[in-house]
Chains A and B, each alone.
Chain A
């Protein structure tokens, strides 16, 4: 009966997905890839990806966690997981036609048979929006890696936002990561991976139980150099709004300075940091002891 949920195929044609699904049924340890899920029938696929979202995050907006419909009758959760692809994106919106997602999750298969969490964002749709994601001409900034909107960034910083945040957070990341552990256990993956895009992200992921595949020593070095007398501390010279002397005392302050390129003074760049979450384990990493958010 299980193969009936697969996409249709011409009679007698070998079906790779069917073989894969049979393997899953026969071997409980066989890992399930995003591609395999994407190749299922739409309803089966949605049933599986439903398990990816903590229901409370949806019901907080009166969105039905099963039908993904709101009280207004509109669908608020959008799944992009095309057959034949190895990536899936889930976006939940409130209101349903908002240009922004309040919950964004992106997954993709990596070349080693594992799954990467490509993007995770929780944004309070009721909070003020800062357009740091586009420049003054409306061109995307790609988190400031291609271009920056300095005026909006300064406003966002003053409002207490972190680099890359266009809206305030929703304080639901603990639930999301607990849900992800269950989701990946269902798929028989012992771990999953991600690349934190900002210093704040890495700090959050540490608190959610992640360890470092790459970049742990760099995080230690950054913390060391932000201490009084360190090179990063010295570079907080007030030369830009993002390099004020007091910023070393908070994670957000450090993150804005790093976003502004301050790591150059120690010959580093914010890239190649890679983290891993082992299902069911908390790594208890803390590279920034006694530093508040």
Chain B
């Protein structure tokens, strides 16, 4: 019986870490018996967000950490990505546009179109404990269970 409720990994905000973030998502989806297409969506969305944090949030700074955590809540998997770089102001602006057709959003090369197209309940918070991007994706267990 699987009893772990939450999975997380903390790595330095550097491009070399992207592959390890992807591996974390793949391994965790395996632990949680999450369907392949959901796993693939989560992997790409997390990679896009982490790359944006590295390229934009930590630009010009001595890179700190990025914390990616996943938790299963009923029929959703919820992902939280925390960082301590500069807040992603464009993301805050994009948040006010959620609900518009994706092709109408002012992405400007921000690289998060896939996130907005595939994920649900997207929230972005700037707090004393870091910048937090939270999103979820519905899932069903793999048929093997």
Binding site for B on A (CB under 8 A): 31, 112-114, 189-191, 211-220, 272, 274, 276, 278-279, 283-285, 287
Contacts and interface: CB of A to CB of B under 8 A. Distances in A.
Given A217-B13, A217-B14, A276-B84, A212 B64 contact: yes
Interface of B: 8-14, 61-65, 67, 82, 84, 127-130
The 10 A-B pairs at the shortest CB distance, nearest first, are namely A191-B129, A216-B12, A217-B63, A211-B65, A190-B129, A213-B84, A212-B64, A217-B12, A283-B10, A212-B65
B21 to A, nearest CB: 14
A191 B12 contact: no
A84 B108 CA distance: 49
A272 B67 CA distance: 20
Contacts of B9: 284
A276 B67 CA distance: 12
Contacts of B61: 214
Contacts of B130: 191, 276, 278
Given A283-B10, A284-B9, A284-B10, A215 B64 contact: yes
B128 A114 contact: yes
A28 B130 CA distance: 21
Contacts of B129: 190-191, 276, 278-279
B10 A285 contact: yes
A283 B10 CA distance: 6
A219 B128 contact: no
24 contacts: A31-B128, A113-B128, A189-B128, A190-B127, A190-B128, A190-B129, A212-B65, A214-B63, A214-B64, A216-B11, A216-B64, A217-B12, A217-B14, A217-B63, A217-B64, A218-B62, A220-B14, A274-B64, A276-B84, A276-B129, A279-B129, A283-B8, A283-B10, A285-B10
B9 to A, nearest CB: 7
A127 B64 CA distance: 36
A216 B63 contact: yes
Contacts of B12: 212, 216-217, 219-220, 287
Q: Which of A112, A216, A220, A279: most chain B Cβ within 10 A?
A: A216
Contact of B128 (A191, A216, A284, A287): A191
A211 B63 contact: no
Given A190-B127, A217-B64, 15 more contacts: A211-B64, A213-B65, A214-B61, A216-B12, A217-B12, A217-B13, A217-B62, A272-B62, A276-B130, A278-B82, A278-B130, A279-B129, A283-B67, A284-B9, A285-B10
Contacts of B84: 211-214, 276
B28 to A, nearest CB: 14
Contacts of B11: 216
A97 B75 CA distance: 62
A215 B62 contact: yes
Contact of A285 (B62, B65, B127): B65
Nearest to B69: A281
B57 to A, nearest CB: 12
Contacts of A274: 64
A279 to B, nearest CB: 8
Contacts of A214: 61-64, 84
A283 B14 contact: no
Nearest to A224: B16
A273 to B, nearest CB: 8
A190 B84 CA distance: 14
B8 A284 contact: yes
Contacts of B82: 278
A214 B85 CA distance: 8
A187 B66 CA distance: 26
Contacts of A215: 62, 64
B134 to A, nearest CB: 15
B8 A216 contact: no
